Amino acid sequence: MPMNNPDAALDEMDRAIKGLKAVGVQFFTNVNGAPLDLPELKPLFEKMAGYDLPIWIHPARGANFPDYLTEEKSKYEIWFVFGWPYETSVVMARLVFGGYFDQFPNLKIITHHMGGMVPYFEGRVGTSWAQLGTRTSDEDYTGILKRLKKPHLEYFKSFYADTALFGASSGTKCGLEFFGVDHVLFASDCPFDPEKGPGYIRETIKIIDALPIPDEERHKIYEGNARRLLKL
């Protein structure tokens, strides 16, 4: 979506979904460097919740986002390897604590790279944020958890996640355990593997085929969840 122009994005969503039968839209994790929870972008989330169709969130950070305060850019493509899943995780937190899922209960968001950092750091997400506000003195965060209708970890589990972990078997198990089998969708990130095409598809299928789950659950990951979520 052309997020730098919210009105145009709203029109484009209608044209794509009503006119062209699109079954979802993609937002990048930042808009020219700005966050997705800007007030002027909220109608975009509202519209997709109204359609009851998913938003794919795709990371977008570049080398111009430095990893240290004293530096101007990110070295060694760290912005890509770690920065992208980091930025996915940041969006998830901003939407959760911004109350988006209470305001738009139908909101469905598919995160790339198996939910960013959230599943591996489930314990941190759960227990550190259970103390939200205790590490902040210049702003009062202590009311945020109370204002949310559900425990904060439940919102993080309400995201969907794709399987694009590039051949990481134990990460895939960890992500699946966190989101549950109804919230994980097949994706490979083809053609960005070193073989420029078949590598990620083959390795991701190998991992999913080897998961110790019943075939009906495997079928959900491969296509069932997508059919349900995209109304296919």
- Contact residues for a copy of itself, defined by CB under 8 A: 30, 32-35, 63-65, 67-71, 75-78, 80-83, 85-87, 89-90, 93-94, 97, 113-114, 117, 119-133, 135-136, 138, 141, 144, 165-168, 170-171, 173-175, 177-178, 192-194, 199-200, 203
Residue 177: its H or E element: helix 169-179
Strand, coil or helix: what is 180? coil
Q: 46, 104 in Cβ contact below 8 A? A: yes
Q: How far is the CB of 64 from a copy of itself (least distance, A)?
A: 7
Q: How far is the CB of 108 from a copy of itself (least distance, A)?
A: 22
Q: How far is the CB of 163 from a copy of itself (least distance, A)?
A: 10
**Which residue's CB is nearer to a copy of itself, number 88 or number 229?**
88
Q: How far is the CB of 90 from a copy of itself (least distance, A)?
A: 5
The DSSP secondary-structure symbol of 4 reads T
Q: 59, 29 in Cβ contact below 8 A? A: yes
What's the rounded Cα separation, in Å, for the pair 163 and 130?
Answer: 28
**Which residue's CB is nearer to a copy of itself, number 27 or number 51?**
27
Residue 26: its H or E element: strand 25-28
**Which residue's CB is nearer to a copy of itself, number 19 or number 71?**
71
Q: How far is the CB of 157 from a copy of itself (least distance, A)?
A: 13
Kindly report the length of the chain: 232
Q: 54, 27 in Cβ contact below 8 A? A: no
